[in-house]
Chains A and B, each alone.
Chain A
Amino acid sequence: MKYILLAGLCSAMAFNGTSQREIEYLEYDLDNGIHVILHEEHATPIVAVSVLYHVGSKNEQADRTGFAHFFEHLLFEGSANIERGEYSELVEKNGGTLNANTSQDRTFYYEILPSNQLELGIWLESERMLHANVEITGIETQRSVVKEEKRQRVDNQPYASFITEMFSRMFKKHPYNWVPIGSMEHLDAAKEEDYVNFYRTFYVPANATLSIAGDIDIEETKAWINKYFSSIPKGEAINLYRDVENLSDEEFLKEYGVDRSTFDLKNFGMSTDSKAKEIFNKYSATAIEIPRPEKANEPLTGIVKDIVYDNIQLPALFMGYSFPEQSHPDFHALEMMNDVLSGGASSRINKSLVEKQQIAQFAFCFAYGLEDAGVGIFAAIAAQGKDLDSVQMAFDDQITLIKDELISEAEFEKIRNQYENQFISTNSTIAGIAETLADNHVYSGGAEKINTELSEYLAVTREDIQRVAKKYLTQDARIILHYLPMEEKSDKK
């Protein structure tokens, strides 16, 4: 299961954007708080069923990092009605595929199925939400798997630790301080009950967006959603349900003061026992408080310069700037500034650092936008025999230029054309549409952004781009990381 620690590398090019083709959709809330978005499209007989949970690594405690991503793994381990290992099998044997990913801000699960298996997809996701298996066997297996994932994707990959190194210096207070993969020591130290509590807090209906797209019949889909998702208890009642299912009779009695048997899981909340009904109503009415950090507000105040030694051959430079959060009005202008610098073969950084001066093997920048803050990253791997100071000087020249001079009309037209092309080309798959709709709903002020975002980009002016360059590319407040080959460390000692 992928997680998107490095997705930022691609996000400079790929947009979760909108398209000129109007995307039609329907949205509504269930009583238990689940937000539902449906998009109907019959070109191919397939459907995408997805659930976005508004929980990412930023919701973790500082001594329990890596939990959100760990859950992404754990929640494939089955449920009260699905055996261990059976979850993916059910999807695959019915001709579907499934996966999930985790970022600082979200955990996203999806299945793509033949359209005659839509009900199965809805049932599977409802099982995951209501009563996934959060227990020791699965925890232990997935703990080892996640460790391998970290070794493969971070520890054994040249330069791959740069996001970790950058974010830990950029955010001292906000939980963006750590990245989704988190700490293996924390996962080891955690007890089963820590995991259970995480599930009870974040995997609840009010924290979820159900987005379905493809070859569907709206009325039929709504009926299945009603059957499987509306039946998931609201507020704290979901945890009451989980306790009825998991606690022993004694434990339950001690906790709730009634017999467990007064509850009927097949008809939860309709108990004939008045005491049980009272408890159910009380818990249903008690909202679950979902802890969320305050927006990060800790811009850099000076230059932080550091060396990181890695198993690499060519040195690399990574520079980080404080950018605003992705929903900030300046963010579109920053992304377009980024494209002037780094979008396509004719972009300024590629032409100057890679082709003309030939001091970098590979150079780019991107605007890393998150819910609570953003980071502007400039990165270059030095060409053989070139030093990082000259690479930095070349970046600085480009930064000075874009701050001092308006970009040309021709360049402006170029990036606008690139945006138009990108927006028309994305949303060509139903899975992509389901994801964009859900993302926009949670992070960008509404699903409708899928149809309006291009015009927002096209409203950005050349002056806006210069203004944000001046405002955010602060040369006296940035992080400068030098990645050097491990051998040089021992040489110096």
Chain B
Amino acid sequence: MKKYIIALGLFVPTILFGQIDRSIRPEAAPAPTINIKDSKVFTTENGITVILSENHKIPRVSYNLVMGSDPKLEKSKAGLSSIAGTLVMSGTSNRSKDDLDNEVDNIGATLHADNNSIYMSSLTKHMTKGLTLMSDVLMNANFPQSEVDRIITQNESNLTSTKSDAGSMASNATSSANFPKGHPYGEIMTFESLENIDRSSIVEYYNMAFSPKGSYLVVVGDITLEETKELVQTYFGNWKGKAPHKENWGTGSFNAGNNVSFVNKPGAVQSVISVSFSMAITPSDPDYLKLKVLNNIMGAGGFASRLMQNLREDKAYTYGCYSRLNITDDGSWFSAGGNFRNEVTDSAITQILFELDRIIDDYVTDKELDLAKSSMAGSFGRSLERPSTVARFALNIIKNDLPKDYYQTYLKQLEAITKQDLLDVAQKYWTGSKCNIVVVGNEEVIPTLLQFDSDGEIEELDAFGNEVVEKIPSDLTADEIIENYLAAVIPNVKAKKRKKIFKKIKSMEVVIEMTSAQVPFPITSKNAWMSPNINASLTEGKGMVFSSSYSDGITGQQQAMGIGKSEMTPEEIAVANKSMGIVPEYNYGKSGMEYEVIGIEKFEKKECYVLKLNDGKSITFDYYDRTSFMKLGTMSIETQGEETTQATQTYDNYVEMNGILFPTMVKLSTGQANLEGKVVSRIINGEIDFESYKK
């Protein structure tokens, strides 16, 4: 190349340079002063807080309009806000999408929207045109059906692609582990939820979320305060909308021990690992900055951080291992991880957990603390190069209710943080062995992961963070399964004899004593039945009756704590009759219970035939062991309005009595509590005090 002027020995160098001792490291010059320019803030009549950061270096302006609503549950329409956000740019009552795209590109501007904001940037000379387009989109988006259809179809393809994208799968699984159903962060779009999203729900979302009330408009660049005021009035003065949606989402969920979830990615050569847990903190908390320093030392501080040094520079398990704090008003979590070759998946998890324990158990070193502070101070200084930083500072102060001089004093606050502060926040917010460990990778790594799970059970999740339910078609009919089950619980006799044994039982009373970590006293549950159709149940503990019921097949009464006593309706009695008797399966034919086999699934790690029952009030799934045909459990789903509750019972330790095998261990788990039950008495053909059930 022309610039490679290579001297061809034409001259002999004279004195090229003086003496130099390269081992002496340069000293820093005096530290430069960091100036943070003030932003200007004003509020419009329709409720927009405008933040202006003036900077005339480059003839450009940007407008970022952020809405003030909190997230809302999307339930069966998970993904609605994301679809609606994409569609905001799909045309207005004044412009088709093609026209809109063309007009934006014609002035070389950027205009985009998501579920919660609209952003426009352009050269100053094209600014008014840009604002015309931005305000048109903001106020007149009209969501044509054809675009709705197109975006939904496109998202279907996206969902398909997710299955080959390990990073997205890990992030979905991490969200659903830390934020189980019932929190917006745990809602993940699936093929099913996408199907439920229609134009009217999109329009409804847009009307709810896009409103001037409580919104923030961040203006950055080549513009004065006077101009900004005038333009905001011209382009956003007529914008109207509802009060913003406010909802307190609290925190994510906390584990009792480590929980491992696995997502299968066939052919993977690396495992994507994410170790995460929820934290009870919001951005306005003074501990936030301390946590940031701690996290910088842990895994966000570049090459020098512990995770990087240990897993990359020392062990070479990975190209990069990082940790991250996600701190929001609606839920906060920590996550650490990276990509690791298959063979070292378990070793990598061990080291990440080791580093977590280490930072919770002991002080960081002075050197680490100094390094973290300096690197954060440096990064703070560098961030000021972007004009948008100053505006972001102003926005944070307003949104998070921070002291006015928070950023002016940022470096001082940082300097004041001590090792003790870091140990305190580590112990307060971080957890060593109560993590959600997500691994996306090749099936071959599964056996190595068992050691990390506190209950020894690895949940397998699909690409969207939902538990994998493997459906194998059943090779038996529902009646054949019931027949086999009856043969199993009344063993060693022929079918005819079974009926006889069964008919000899005229009454039965079972008392189960249950304990739970969530309830400080034992709970007693009693069930009684007498031929032909008296049914009774009672749950009590510590002298209190939680619920009771009694019916004789024609009339009945029930009582529940907090609801009170009532007569049973004929429908309720009909429902009770359908599952009556010591082995209700004998009567399905006659009782009117609807039942069908839906396939073979894993339940309690065993392959089971699944019968779906519908008694008219709730749906129940019964699980029969595929080899022994014993009934291992029942899962019931009850729906009341929009709420569904799910309860799972498992049966174990079957013991023979009067020729029939009965379970002596029962476990009950619902969303709120887990109960362990032991059968303390089972009386067959004895006296039953039915009055005691009428409390």
The answer on a CB contact under 8 Å between A94 and B16 is: no
The answer on a CB contact under 8 Å between B339 and A156 is: yes
Range of interface residues on A (Cβ < 8 Å): 35 or more
The answer on a CB contact under 8 Å between A314 and B6 is: no
The answer, yes or no, to whether B666 is at the interface (CB within 8 Å) is no
Which residue from A88, A123, A141, A343 sits with its C-beta under 8 Å from B304? A88
The answer on a CB contact under 8 Å between A116 and B31 is: yes
The answer on a CB contact under 8 Å between A92 and B375 is: yes
The answer, yes or no, to whether A302 is at the interface (CB within 8 Å) is no
The answer, yes or no, to whether A346 is at the interface (CB within 8 Å) is yes
- Within 8 Å CB of A126, what residues of B? 22
The answer on a CB contact under 8 Å between A428 and B313 is: no
The answer on a CB contact under 8 Å between A120 and B25 is: yes
When chains A and B are docked, how far (Å) is the Cα of A215 from the Cα of B6? 32
The answer on a CB contact under 8 Å between A95 and B375 is: yes
Pick the most buried of B265, B266, B382, B384: most chain A CB atoms within 10 A of its CB. Answer: B382
The answer, yes or no, to whether B319 is at the interface (CB within 8 Å) is yes
B124 nearest CB neighbor, chain A only: A424
- How near does chain B come to A207, taking the closest CB pair, in angstroms? 8
When chains A and B are docked, how far (Å) is the Cα of A20 from the Cα of B52? 25
Per-residue CB contact flags for chain A residues 328-351 toward chain B (1 = under 8 Å, else 0) read 000000000000000111110001
- Within 8 Å CB of B126, what residues of A? 417
Per-residue CB contact flags for chain A residues 150-180 toward chain B (1 = under 8 Å, else 0) read 0111011010000000000000000000000
The answer on a CB contact under 8 Å between A97 and B378 is: yes
- Within 8 Å CB of B270, what residues of A? 148, 151-152, 155-156
Knowing A148-B270, A424-B58, say if A46 contacts B21 (CB, 8 Å). no
When chains A and B are docked, how far (Å) is the Cα of A89 from the Cα of B25? 14
Which residue from B32, B153, B301, B316 sits with its C-beta under 8 Å from A358? B153
CB contacts under 8 Å to B, within A292-320, are: 311-314
When chains A and B are docked, how far (Å) is the Cα of A126 from the Cα of B17? 14
When chains A and B are docked, how far (Å) is the Cα of A85 from the Cα of B305? 11
The answer on a CB contact under 8 Å between B316 and A148 is: yes
Which residue from B106, B164, B319, B381 sits with its C-beta under 8 Å from A95? B381
Which residue from B316, B339, B384 sits with its C-beta under 8 Å from A151? B339
B contact patch SS: loop
When chains A and B are docked, how far (Å) is the Cα of A343 from the Cα of B386? 25
The answer on a CB contact under 8 Å between A410 and B318 is: no
When chains A and B are docked, how far (Å) is the Cα of A61 from the Cα of B101? 48
Among A264-272, A387-395, A469-477, which stretch is in contact with chain B?
Answer: A264-272
Knowing A115-B32, A230-B17, say if A44 contacts B164 (CB, 8 Å). no
The answer, yes or no, to whether A425 is at the interface (CB within 8 Å) is yes
The answer on a CB contact under 8 Å between B378 and A95 is: yes
- How near does chain A come to B626, taking the closest CB pair, in angstroms? 28
CB contacts under 8 Å to B, within A16-38, are: 19, 21, 29, 31-33, 35
- How near does chain A come to B3, taking the closest CB pair, in angstroms? 6
The answer on a CB contact under 8 Å between A428 and B58 is: yes
The answer, yes or no, to whether A251 is at the interface (CB within 8 Å) is no
When chains A and B are docked, how far (Å) is the Cα of A290 from the Cα of B3? 13
Per-residue CB contact flags for chain A residues 196-219 toward chain B (1 = under 8 Å, else 0) read 000000000011000000010000
The answer on a CB contact under 8 Å between B160 and A314 is: yes
The answer, yes or no, to whether A398 is at the interface (CB within 8 Å) is no
The answer on a CB contact under 8 Å between B8 and A158 is: no
- Within 8 Å CB of A152, what residues of B? 270, 318-320, 339
- Nearest first, the 5 A-B pairs at minimum CB distance are A95-B378, A285-B9, A421-B108, A144-B316, A45-B32
Pairs A–B under 8 Å by Cβ, sample size 25? A31-B16, A45-B381, A46-B382, A85-B313, A88-B304, A89-B304, A92-B371, A97-B378, A97-B382, A114-B381, A145-B312, A158-B165, A234-B13, A266-B20, A287-B7, A311-B268, A313-B163, A314-B161, A345-B104, A346-B104, A351-B98, A414-B105, A421-B108, A424-B60, A424-B123
Binding site for B on A (CB under 8 A): 19, 21, 29, 31-33, 35, 43-46, 54, 76, 80-81, 85, 88-90, 92-97, 112-120, 122-123, 126-127, 130, 140-149, 151-153, 155-156, 158, 206-207, 215, 224, 226-228, 230-231, 234-235, 265-267, 269-270, 281-282, 284-287, 290, 311-314, 343-347, 351, 354-355, 358, 361, 381, 383-384, 410, 413-414, 417-422, 424-425, 428-430, 441-442, 486
